[in-house]
Amino acid sequence: MARPRSSDAHARILAATSELLEQTAVSELCIEEIAARAKVGKQTIYKWWAGKGELAMEAALANVEAHVHVEDTGDTRRDLQSFLKKSARLLRETSTGRTLTALMAQAQGDPEFLEDFRERFLEVRRGALRTLLRGGLKTGQLRRDFDLELFIDLVFGAYWYRMLTRRAPLDDRFAAELLEMLWPFVAARKKAAA
Amino acid sequence: MARPRSSDAHARILAATSELLEQTAVSELCIEEIAARAKVGKQTIYKWWAGKGELAMEAALANVEAHVHVEDTGDTRRDLQSFLKKSARLLRETSTGRTLTALMAQAQGDPEFLEDFRERFLEVRRGALRTLLRGGLKTGQLRRDFDLELFIDLVFGAYWYRMLTRRAPLDDRFAAELLEMLWPFVAARKKAAA
Amino acid sequence: MARPRSSDAHARILAATSELLEQTAVSELCIEEIAARAKVGKQTIYKWWAGKGELAMEAALANVEAHVHVEDTGDTRRDLQSFLKKSARLLRETSTGRTLTALMAQAQGDPEFLEDFRERFLEVRRGALRTLLRGGLKTGQLRRDFDLELFIDLVFGAYWYRMLTRRAPLDDRFAAELLEMLWPFVAARKKAAA
Amino acid sequence: MARPRSSDAHARILAATSELLEQTAVSELCIEEIAARAKVGKQTIYKWWAGKGELAMEAALANVEAHVHVEDTGDTRRDLQSFLKKSARLLRETSTGRTLTALMAQAQGDPEFLEDFRERFLEVRRGALRTLLRGGLKTGQLRRDFDLELFIDLVFGAYWYRMLTRRAPLDDRFAAELLEMLWPFVAARKKAAA
DNA sequence: CAATAAACGAGACGGTACGTCCCGTCTTCAG
DNA sequence: CTGAAGACGGGACGTACCGTCTCGTTTATTG
């Protein structure tokens, strides 16, 4: 019976938020500025989002493709390499990187936010990698006796550590070196097979 | 020629800050509350620290022993294990962990802060591990052909990833598993030598 | 198109200001206390008044009847006496007197405030007296050859001098003596007419 | 045995105060700026004066000759005219005028200050005028039947009113007109005697 | 197709904390 | 011991945003 939600306003709010999120921490987002940029009343924001956290999360993840497409060429090493390079590419794109680090930062002081962030981003990425690795296990390209989750921690840990500390670039070379370093450990011993 | 800085006030300010820092993000520290707790005028805080960042950094690092003592028993594996366990212990102590994640979060929106954090904490830890590993290289307990810095990224990456995402506890078991997973890769191949 | 100004808050602010103004100088008004007493955010005050001056002026003059009713019985001496007594009564009422001296004091260090005060209070009173005297001139009850403005200066000068220096009470007796002293000078010489 | 008070510092403090007093209200004097200008420690000021009031009073009155010299030529009208002109001259000199209005303003919110101001300035001037008028009474140049104090109120009232309201200049012409207006009232009726 | 009821833009409101200014007191050292 | 220097605890300043609350306007049904 009533006027329906304006998807236009909705979009403008998310756009304004994303824009600001590339430059500032979530907690330093200024709702009044978002409203002004989006030409929206403040109430319209509070109507649909509980606070900066929710808003930032939605704005940020709208820009990161929700589902990670994992190739499955049958060659686990190649697929893994491809995944690592794509991940590096995603993260090093400045705006995405800045935004993700902003989310991770926000999560440190806000347990609910962290929970949300894990479900909607971190676990999705872990899941993708896990699927990939399980494929390798099935085809016998990977050893059976290593802790898969710990391995995933190592991979994403290295990525996040570099991203958060700006220690070194997240480029293809890094992805390659990482694979080179870790591969021998997870790869099935071909020679033993031979 | 004037009255000297009050070391007492200085200490009270840092103590109040540490206390609050265990519960809140750096950017949500309330200077007025710090001043009130420390029974200090706000100006005394602004006189000596440029803002919440500087204050939080000093308060946090005052509680983390600046120098990491690295044992050198001659047995690199044992020393490494010991280092990893001590590190895990430091980080999982609630107050320290919370504080460090707060610093890392703050660093994400504040490049100068990050720079400072790297110099005063991250690089100190990296340096300790680097020294330890170089010892192993000298004594031939470690292979020569691996990228030392990348290895350090992997180690600290795993720690920070777990701490920041609260994915799993940073306990001695984690330290043990981590070593078990990574050791084969860096250890010199004794059997090959044999 | 937005929510309209709250006349309630407006009134509470003026009331709180008036209250404080009876006891303190304009420059010593504490905006924070006004806000607290009026149960109002400070910003609401700053939104509508530029500072203590404007606020005090409005609060003070709201309590002083803007227009002075000047009687016109046809008997100039009687009207003048009545005006002088009413003026004395107004000023010696403690709260009004304190408030007006506070405004006059403020005006000394603030030219714009003085200008405003003259227009909104001093000139209104002068105007009333001027009208009264001109009536007397028309009906021939007053001499034509005296400087009307100088006379007005003398009258109000005496009032303000006594009020500001607390030299003596501003009572009806004072008003009577003042008239008695000044009347002969402005009155038309009836005997000459006779 | 002790170092004596530095009359130099004392003078520099008063000088700095006078300087600032020409531009600002007493309550807006900034002790820290006075100390800086006078190259003096704040404590040295607090040591010798209780606050801005006392300091301003001393600084201001040091610049106004304490004793008013009243001429006595034997001609009361001439002496009165001379007194009025000298008074006008004193007050219209910008720095003195500003300073005196600042004192009068301060007195409005500070009873002790008012008391002091009356004793040290207002009553001195009243006394001078009173002496002058009594001389005229003795020599029969003035009527006996008028209220001397009320007359003094009228004179000083007119001066202060003009000065405080900046209504019109305090020039010699004003002094002349004032005398012309008031003289007939206080002068003995010579013609009646004749 | 008018009435109606939610969604909207605007922005005023009560409030919290900010970083600054200055207060009056204190603590040091130089002369 | 006086006096310059200036650190200290404290209080108010005027500003920036917060999240809530009215307003009048717009707009897609529903009666």
C14 by Cβ neighbours in 10 Å (0-12 / 13-18 / 19+) ranks as buried
Q: Please name the residues in contact with D74: beta carbons below 8 A apart, sequence gap of 6 or more.
A: D139
pLDDT at B45: 98
* Dist CA A155 CA C117 (whole Å): 75
- Which tokens belong to B22? 């265990």
pLDDT of amino acid D1: 44
User: Does pLDDT of C194 surpass 50?
Assistant: no
Structure tokens at C185: 């000078």
Predicted confidence (pLDDT) at residue D46 exceeds the cutoff of 90: yes
**Full DSSP string of C115-138:** HHHIIIIIHHHHHHHHHHHHHHHH
Measured torsion, CA atoms of residues C24, C26, C28, C34, in degrees rounded to the nearest 10: 90
CA atoms B116, B117, B121, B125: torsion sign: negative
| Strand E atom within 7 Å of C10 CB | yes
**pLDDT, tens digit (0-9, with 9 covering 90-100), for C33-84:** 999 999 999 999 999 999 999 999 999 999 887 667 788 899 999 999 999 9
Report yes or no: B38 and B46 within 8 Å, Cβ to Cβ. no
Nearest Cα neighbor of A87 from A182, A186, A163, A165 is A163
- Please tell me whether residue D13 adopts helix, strand or coil conformation: helix
pLDDT at res. D188: 85
D103 alpha-carbon distance from chain centroid: 10
Q: pLDDT class for D70, splitting at 50, 70, 90?
A: confident
What is the CA A1 to C1' F31 distance in angstroms?
11
With a cut of 80, say whether residue D182 has pLDDT above it.
Answer: yes
pLDDT in tens, B35-47: 999 999 999 999 9
Say which residue the tokens 């300010």 belong to.
Answer: B13
User: Which pLDDT score, from 0 to 100, does residue A69 have?
Assistant: 81
Integer Cα distance of C25 and C105 in angstroms: 8
β-strand partners of B142: B187
Using a 7 Å CB cutoff, list residues 51-70 of B near strand E: 51-52
DSSP D71-115: ---S-HHHHHHHHHHHHHHHHHSHHHHHHHHHHHHHHTT-HHHHH
Q: Which residue is nearest to nucleotide E31 (CA to C1')?
A: D3
Distance from CA of A1 to the nearest CA of B (A): 43
D96-142 confidence digits (pLDDT tens): 999 999 999 999 999 999 999 999 999 999 999 999 999 999 999 99
Q: What is the pLDDT of residue C164?
A: 97
The pLDDT assigned to B194 comes to 38
Distances (CA, A) of B61 to A38, B118, B179, C3, C78: 41, 12, 27, 50, 85
Average pLDDT over residues D26-37: 97
Please check whether strand E approaches the CB of B4 to within 7 Å.
yes
User: What number is the average pLDDT over the span C102-115?
Assistant: 96
Chain C residues contacting D via beta carbons under 8 Å: 24-25, 27-28, 101-102, 104-109, 114, 118, 122, 146-147, 149-151, 153-154, 156-162, 164-168, 177-178, 181-182, 184-185
Quick one: pLDDT at residue A15? 97
Of A134, A153, D110, the C-alpha closest to C105 is: D110
Average pLDDT over residues D180-192: 80
Nearest residue on chain A to B176, alpha-carbon basis:
A150
Give the whole-angstrom CA distance, residue D184 versus residue D186: 6
Number of residue pairs across C and D with CB atoms under 8 Å? Answer: 117
Indicate the pTM of the whole model.
0.91
Q: A48-66 pLDDT, tens per residue?
A: 999 999 999 999 999 887 6
Number of other CB atoms surrounding residue D13 within 10 Å: 25
Q: How far apart are CA C170 and CA C85, in angstroms?
A: 9
- Residue C193 confidence (pLDDT): 40
Low-confidence ranges of chain B (pLDDT < 70): 66-67, 190-194
CB-closest option in C102, C107, C185 to D185:
C185
- Cβ pair A167, A161 in contact under 8 A: yes
Min distance C5 CA to chain D CA atoms (Å): 33
CB pairs under 8 A between A and B: 114
A192: Cβ contacts below 8 Å, ≥ 6 apart: none
Residue C120 clears pLDDT 60, i.e. is over it = yes
Interface test with D, best of C118, C181, C185, C189 (most D CBs within 10 A): C181
Contacts of B109 (CB under 8 A, 6+ apart): A24, A25, A28, A102, A105, B27
> For chain A, how are helix, strand and coil distributed in percent, rounded to 5?
75, 0, 25
Q: Please answer whether residues A110 and A53 qualify as being in contact, where contact means their C-beta atoms are separated by less than 8 angstroms.
A: yes
Query: What is the per-residue pLDDT for D191?
Result: 52
User: How far apart (Å, rounded) are the C-alpha atoms in residues B158 and B181?
Assistant: 12
What is the percent of chain D where pLDDT is above 90?
79
| Measured distance CA(A110)–CA(A118) in Å, rounded | 12
Report the alpha-carbon distance of residue C180 to residue C174 in Å, rounded. 10
Residue written as token pair 């009850």 = C141
Rg, Å, chain C Cα set: 20
| Low-confidence spans in chain A with pLDDT less than 50 | 192-194
What is the structure's pLDDT at A111?
A: 96
pLDDT at D31 (0 to 100): 97
Q: Which of residues 18-47 of C touch strand E (CB under 7 A)?
A: 39-44, 47
